[in-house]
Chain A
């Protein structure tokens, strides 16, 4: 049977099942953009796109911060806690110590990476599940931060920070550009470096990776350090967007977005598979829906409901699609 004789349905099915999950996600995003821009013309306004872009940049980095740990088959519930610690450390270095901005940025990033390293170290040394360790460390970190700062925000950070948050290049907000650059670096790490391959091998099958000579402990610690570093980058971007360092940001608020972006983007919770582009698209979908509902004045109240339903629907759809793909190749799902 030649290709042209096959019924349309089979061809469509093949297209659908052979395309990458990221392509499906992209289609859904386009659909939402068409829907929102036709329902509310304000959606495509310069102002809205600008604010959408800045939120998107931060959501992308938060998602990537979770993704690098998911890659190894673990999870990091302390992404938000590390983020808020980095926010306050950044504010402290800038305002109280009066350090120049580049030094303060480096300090905040180092602080985030150190907290991530601590997570990885505790997980590897005790052999306890990453869920429990990061649940506990989230409580430790945010508790420690509140004890040290007394929950007083740093409102006097240099205006240049806020200016950076508002600036842009060719109409693209600087925050979004930073996020894209970070994504590019991670793309290179997971495609081309030994660490990237070893992290994925560890996530796919820890025992097998260990037997093939991967130093699993080191990979896990490094992945958690990277996760902490990324959380701190998100924290610095957030400080730039708000123009102040506040203790109320982050925390539990980052938990859902941090999982939404990678899981929508096709990163497996079981580990071994990551998609940097998928995570970015996942973050874009979440930001699109949030922004669209705001413009439509449905407001923030129902947003959580929609996000929950979309997460379930997306995971279900992907499951259905991959089982179709297996069946069309003559395998049992």
Chain B
């Protein structure tokens, strides 16, 4: 029993799991409305978009890169999908794949530029983020698209009990990502390159290809997040994505991903998103200033990196 416990403690997400459970229990006691069906639905719905955003950053962190353009790319996809449906009357079944294609393409551009030019990925994605936002604002002039198909908006608002329809997408994505990183060759190669690009190259893995794969995946995930956000809001707002940056890094890092690449945790990221959503939900329920969420998010990131570092030192892996 004791051994099982100490083994659990060495698992990086054990701390967050305890925090999530303790937080949920504390919140349920402090504020009984937490457990109402509608509030649990709101809670789960707030997880959907954020989780995909976190995954979008997680895959680039895995290969040892970062993607400052997740939010800008998401905003661009959101207004393209919205514009296609509102202005051009394109059916949902075509608009959604088109949005995903734009996301994948934009991600490919990020990866290709990083690999081909050799410019630091930070600068590349900072520049493309600015460019994507520019295209977004140039097209929309900051005016949202409101006339979206009823079925699409209905999907964003609908639920079965406490489960929003939207939740189906992040659940499927979580499964696919777990499979991708655990079982497929490109997934393993991606992490190998993140861990040690030179060693990976010497073993016959192309670091360039892995970086491009990671960025395409990141673009697809951002696009999926954006499409869910449009469905959830019921309109394609040009501001979608503008507040994704911090949470996109916070969740994977709190979940145990290393910024230098090669190590990610899908379950840890999932728990981190749940924790942040719990804090957000709690703040609303106990009527605390919503600005505290931002403050606590910063504190959580610092605490998480500090704990991870402490553990690394203790386990002698550092």
- Contact, CB under 8 Å: B298 / A136: yes
Q: Are B130 and A311 in contact (CB under 8 A)?
A: yes
* Residues A137 and B129 in contact, CB atoms below 8 Å apart: no
Beta-carbon contact of A312 and B124 below 8 Å: yes
Contact with B134, one of A128, A132, A302 (Cβ below 8 angstroms): A302
Instruction: Give the interface segment out of B39-47, B197-205, B300-308.
Output: B300-308
Contact A304 B117 (CB under 8 A): no
B58 to chain A, nearest CB (A): 14
Given A143-B296, A304-B133, A304-B137, A135-B117 contact (CB < 8 Å): no
**8 Å CB contacts to B: which residues of A123-142?**
126-129, 131-133, 135-142
Q: Which of B120, B129, B131, B305 contacts A128 (CB 8 A)?
A: B305
Residues in B neighbouring A312, C-beta threshold 8 A: 113, 117, 119, 123-124, 127-128, 131
A252 partner residues in chain B, CB cutoff 8 A = 242, 245
- Is B294 located at the chain interface by the 8 A CB criterion? yes
Distance in Å: Cβ of B182 to nearest Cβ of chain A:
26
A269-B295 in contact given A132-B259, A304-B137, A319-B117 (Cβ < 8 Å): no
B75 to chain A, nearest CB (A): 11
> Provided the pairs A303-B134, A308-B127, A308-B134 are in contact, do residues A143 and B292 lie with their beta carbons within 8 angstroms?
yes
Give chain A residues whose Cβ lies under 8 Å from the Cβ of B132.
Answer: 308
Contact between chains at B134 and A139 (CB < 8 Å): no
CB–CB B302/A122 < 8 A = yes
Name B245's closest neighbour in chain A (CB-CB).
A252
- Does chain A have a CB within 8 A of B211? no
Q: Establish whether residues A308 and B292, one from each chain, have CB atoms under 8 Å apart when the complex forms.
A: no
Q: Do B130 and A308 have beta carbons less than 8 Å apart?
A: yes
Asked whether A133 lies within 8 Å of B137 as measured between CB atoms, the reply is: no
Q: What's the nearest-Cβ distance from chain B to residue A319, in Å?
A: 7
Establish whether residues A139 and B130, one from each chain, have CB atoms under 8 Å apart when the complex forms.
no
Is B246 interfacial (CB 8 A cutoff)?
yes
Tell me if A184 is interfacial: C-beta within 8 Å of chain B: no
Which residues of A (223-280) have their CB < 8 Å from a CB of B?
A: 252, 255-256, 259, 263, 269-270
CA of A302 to CA of B130 in the docked complex: distance in angstroms? 10
Cβ-defined contact, A302 with B298, below 8 A: no
User: Whole-angstrom distance from the CB of A263 to the nearest CB of chain B?
Assistant: 6
A305 within 8 A of B: yes
> Which residues of the other chain, A, contact B128 by a CB distance below 8 angstroms?
308, 312
Q: Binary interface profile of B, 283-316, with partner A (CB < 8 Å = 1, else 0)?
A: 0000001011111111101100110010000000
Q: Using a CB-CB cutoff of 8 Å, which residues 281-307 of chain A contact chain B?
A: 300-307
For A270, the chain B residues whose CB sits under 8 A away are 120
A-B pairs with the 3 shortest C-beta distances?
A305-B134, A143-B295, A308-B131
Q: What is A's interface to B at a CB cutoff of 8 Å?
A: 75, 122, 126-129, 131-133, 135-144, 146-147, 150-151, 252, 255-256, 259, 263, 269-270, 300-309, 311-312, 315-316, 319
B interface residue numbers (CB < 8 A to A): 66, 113, 117-120, 122-124, 126-135, 137-138, 141-142, 242, 245-246, 249-250, 253, 259, 289, 291-299, 301-302, 305-306, 309
**Interchain Cβ contacts under 8 Å between A and B, 10 examples:** A131-B259, A132-B301, A133-B305, A135-B249, A300-B137, A305-B130, A306-B134, A311-B126, A315-B119, A315-B127
